[in-house]
């Protein structure tokens, strides 16, 4: 139920094997990995291939795509080539000539699309959150794999689960460094918790991931009745 956000630099380790160390140590306890601009800019696209060679878990490319459809489809084809399984895009760009083209290409390439429905930072309330209901409707209309909702937004997570049932996977970032606790997203109804620094900055990322995994299980047992 953990998706590790692999955003360098990794505080407690240096050198070219830092990324490999984290993936190898955490692989047994996590559901997938999320890679984004920090990794791509710092270590290049080859870094995704290096991860691919180490794990069969899902690799999610988090470029928060927000462009015209043809360009996003082009980016998706390149990402497929380097071994990713899912791509995150913004929802606010709209369906016509944008998300419709991206989703068609993703379906052709057998790639999952995850849409940003609400973010974990405070500023998300200014514009993004005011369109939340429409974003979820768009995600359902497009039949995408899932949505991102900040782990602290428990009401939005609950509402999404109520509206979407199991048609959307819910990914919740904002755990640890940003204040929410492991299990907060899951207890509100999420499927996965996206966790970066709490794991990647730990001197023992494998032990930390294992500890978080068992915390998630305990929290889920405790909160199950009130979900
Ligand atoms: P951390 O656990 O270190 O705070 O990292 C969170 C990760 O989730 C980062 O990769 C960030 O880009 C991503 N993220 C987020 O924090 N909030 C969002 O609303 C959406 C995200 O993708």
Protein residue with least CA distance to atom 8, ligand 1: 173
For residue 5, name the pLDDT band (cuts at 50, 70, 90).
Answer: very high
For residue 11, name the pLDDT band (cuts at 50, 70, 90).
Answer: confident
Q: Across residues 2-8, what is the average pLDDT?
A: 97
Q: Look at residue 219 in the predicted model and tell me its pLDDT.
A: 97
For residue 225, name the pLDDT band (cuts at 50, 70, 90).
Answer: low
- DSSP-H helix ranges across 60-183: 69-81, 100-109, 132-142, 154-164
Segment 184-203, tens digit of pLDDT: 999 999 999 999 999 999 99
| Residue ranges around ligand 1 (CB below 6 Å) | 5, 7, 34, 36, 62, 119-120, 148, 150, 173-178, 194-198
Question: Does residue 226 carry a pLDDT above 70?
Answer: no
Question: Does residue 17 carry a pLDDT above 90?
Answer: no
CA of 196 to the centre of ligand 1 (A): 7
Q: Which residues are CB-contacts of 44 (< 8 A; sequence separation ≥ 6)?
A: none
Q: Look at residue 158 in the predicted model and tell me its pLDDT.
A: 97
Segment 84-100, tens digit of pLDDT: 999 999 999 999 999 99
Cβ(32)–Cβ(3) below 8 Å:
yes
Q: Across residues 123-148, what is the average pLDDT?
A: 97
Ligand 1 probe mutation, 92, 174, 180, most atoms within 8 A of CB? 174
Q: Is 64 a catalytic residue?
A: yes
CA of 159 to the centre of ligand 1 (A): 21
Angle, alpha carbons 8-13-15 (nearest 5°): 80
Segment 143-182, tens digit of pLDDT: 999 999 999 999 999 999 999 999 999 999 999 999 999 9
Please give the C-alpha separations between residue 108 and each of 78, 112, 168, in angstroms, as whole numbers.
Answer: 14, 10, 19
Segment 27-84, tens digit of pLDDT: 999 999 999 999 999 999 999 999 999 999 999 999 999 999 999 999 999 999 999 9
E-strand ranges in 16-141 read 32-36, 58-65, 86-90, 112-116
CA of 32 to the centre of ligand 1 (A): 14
Q: Look at residue 103 in the predicted model and tell me its pLDDT.
A: 98
Ligand 1 probe mutation, 194, 195, 198, 201, most atoms within 8 A of CB? 194
Q: Look at residue 65 in the predicted model and tell me its pLDDT.
A: 98
Q: CA-to-CA distance for 119 and 125, rounded, in angstroms?
A: 8
Local structure of residue 226 (DSSP, 8 states): G
pTM exceeding 0.95 = yes
Question: Does residue 122 carry a pLDDT above 60?
Answer: yes
Other beta carbons within 10 Å of 177: 14
Q: Across residues 124-146, what is the average pLDDT?
A: 97
């Amino acid at each position: 139920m953990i998706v590790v956000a692999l955003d360098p630099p990794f505080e407690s380790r240096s050198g070219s094997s830092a990324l490999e160390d984290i993936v190898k140590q955490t692989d047994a306890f996590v559901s997938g990995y999320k890679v984004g601009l920090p990794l791509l800019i710092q270590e290049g696209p080859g870094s995704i291939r290096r991860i691919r060679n180490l794990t069969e878990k899902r690799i999610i490319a988090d470029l928060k795509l927000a462009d015209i459809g043809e360009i996003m489809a082009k980016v998706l084809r390149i990402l497929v080539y380097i071994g990713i399984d899912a791509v995150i895009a913004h929802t606010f760009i709209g369906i016509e000539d944008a998300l419709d083209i991206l989703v068609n290409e993703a379906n052709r390439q057998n790639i999952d699309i995850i849409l940003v429905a609400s973010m974990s930072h405070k500023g998300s309330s200014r514009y993004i959150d005011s369109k939340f209901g429409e974003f979820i409707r768009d995600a359902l209309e497009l039949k995408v794999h899932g949505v991102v909702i900040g782990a602290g937004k428990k009401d939005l997570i609950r509402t999404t689960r109520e509206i979407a049932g199991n048609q959307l996977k819910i990914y919740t970032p904002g755990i640890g460094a940003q204040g929410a606790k492991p299990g907060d997203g899951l207890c509100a109804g999420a499927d996965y918790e996206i966790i970066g620094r709490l794991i990647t900055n730990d001197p023992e990322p494998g032990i930390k991931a294992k500890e978080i995994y068992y915390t998630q299980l305990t929290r889920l047992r405790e909160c199950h009745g009130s979900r």
